[in-house]
Amino acid sequence: MPPERKRGSTLESSSSTDRPGVLIGRLGKPNGLEGFLGLYTEPENLAYVDPPSVVLIDGRPYTVRAVRQGKKGPQVAFEEATDRPGAELLRGKEVFAEERRLLEAGEFWPQELVGLQVRPGGGEVVDVTHGVAQDRLTIQRQGKRFEVPFVEELVPIVDLEEGFIEVVEIEGLSSP
């Protein structure tokens, strides 16, 4: 029997919070003179800030002007803050999207994967780690953990309805 999931129930979407929408990340210090700020976020949330996306900061809409990769991570600039002093006013603020983005075929939310059973060797997905090249699934089997790159060649089947994933067994990779 698949593990029970409460779809769409996250802290960000809970009615017990006063936050608007889905938390994307937090703004860091300004970088340069053109209004760019560091953006502390998970890699899957970068799709929310593709220009000309509109996000919410302090409940007000801000239009994403540009995104670039800085030395320490992504940086974002807004139409409403085109210089360093304007960006400084946004430093430390949380950034929200009004609603979750739609996933494309083959995409999954990390919380949908955690708890899935692993076939054929047994075990359970206990974590998802985001990487630059690909994400990795942490699998616990017989009390030990190991990681498997989350690519179609190694994880050809993800069945959320039945509550399992299929992992291609490779000696040394898919064993604890």
Domain boundaries, given as residue ranges, for the chain: 22-97, 110-166
Q: Do the Cβ atoms of 21 and 10 come closer than 8 Å?
A: no
pTM: 0.54
How many whole angstroms from its chain centre is CA 71? 20
How many whole angstroms from its chain centre is CA 100? 11
Distance between CA 12 and CA 25 in Å, rounded? 11
Distance set, CA 24 to CA 19, 37, 84, 89, 94 (Å): 12, 14, 22, 18, 8
Class of domain 110-166: mainly beta
Homologous superfamily of domain range 22-97: RimM (2.40.30.60)
Going residue by residue through the chain, which has 176 residues, state the pLDDT in tens, using 9 for 90 and above.
333 333 333 333 333 345 567 899 999 999 999 999 999 998 888 888 999 999 999 999 999 999 999 999 999 999 999 999 999 999 999 999 987 766 777 778 788 899 999 998 899 999 988 776 788 999 999 999 999 999 989 999 999 999 999 999 887 765 55
Distance between CA 25 and CA 76 in Å, rounded? 11
pLDDT at 18 (0 to 100): 52
pLDDT at 11 (0 to 100): 30
SS (H, E, C) the chain: CCCCCCCCCCCCCCCCCCCCCEEEEEEEEEECCCCEEEEEECHHHHHHHCCCCEEEECCEEEEEEEEEEECCEEEEEECCECCHHHHHCCCCCEEEECCCCCCCCCCCCHHHHCCCEEECCCCEEEEEECCCCCCEEEEEECCEEEEEECCCCCCCEEECCCCEEECCCCCCCCCC
Distance between CA 52 and CA 50 in Å, rounded? 6
